[in-house]
Amino acid sequence: MVDKELVISEADIQKRVKMLGAAISADYADKPLVLICILNGAFIFMADLARQITPPVEIDFVRVSSYGGNTYSSGTIAFTKDIELDITGKDVLLVEDIVDTGRTLARLKEIFSARKPRSLKICTLINKTERRETEVEIDYFGFAIDHGFLVGYGLDYAEQHRHYPEVYHLLNP
């Protein structure tokens, strides 16, 4: 049996995602933006968030992997799928499931900045603060949680648990 403890309920997630969508919509006004979903973890968050955004959006996906079957970042990210849209001159929002050490997003920001978007911002469902190693500016986040290994609503441990509508602490990963 999997030992897990509820951290964020489905209702709280949905309420917060609506608020984020409203804030993002207001900030970008009627300007089109590109949403980039960081696979695999952000797929559920992205699907819900995108439906709360009112300006015109283009959607693309990038895939990076850094964890393997561990609970900490290896430090080197593997870029296994690039986006296909040209983001030059566009307003871009990276959508992530969780920021932990900050390494993944710092690296992705570097890579995408080099393509000269007009703006490049970050939205993460969870901002996990305890293990931050790399300074990275987070423009929008759903929940700040200081520690623990979280699963559900897209977040996995060794590719499992992603399908829960809520977020849980995994007690014995």
The residue from 100, 139, 146, 156 that is catalytic is 100
Angle at CA of residue 38, ends 22 and 170, nearest 5°: 90
Q: Measure the CA–CA gap between 100 and 72, rounded to whole angstroms.
A: 9
Cβ contact 99:105 at 8 Å = yes
Q: How far is the CB of 126 from ligand IMP (least distance, A)?
A: 8
Residue 99 interacts, among ligand IMP, Mg ion, none and using kind-specific CB cut-offs from 5 to 8 Å, with: ligand IMP
Say whether 3 is catalytic: no
The pair of structure tokens assigned to 147 is 């520690």
| Least spacing, CB of residue 32 vs ligand IMP, in Å | 26
Give the nearer residue to Mg ion in terms of CB position, either 41 or 117.
41
* Residue 76 CB contacts under 8 Å (≥ 6 apart), including other chains: 66
Output the smallest distance, CB 7 to Mg ion, in A.
16
CA distance 169 to 59: 30
- Which of 38, 49 has the CB closer to Mg ion? 38
- Binding footprint of Mg ion on the chain (CB under 5 A): 41
Q: How far is 164 from 120, CA to CA, in rounded Å? A: 30
Binding-site ranges for ligand IMP (CB under 6 A): 41, 66-67, 73, 96-104, 128, 149-151, 155-156
Residues belonging to the active site = 100
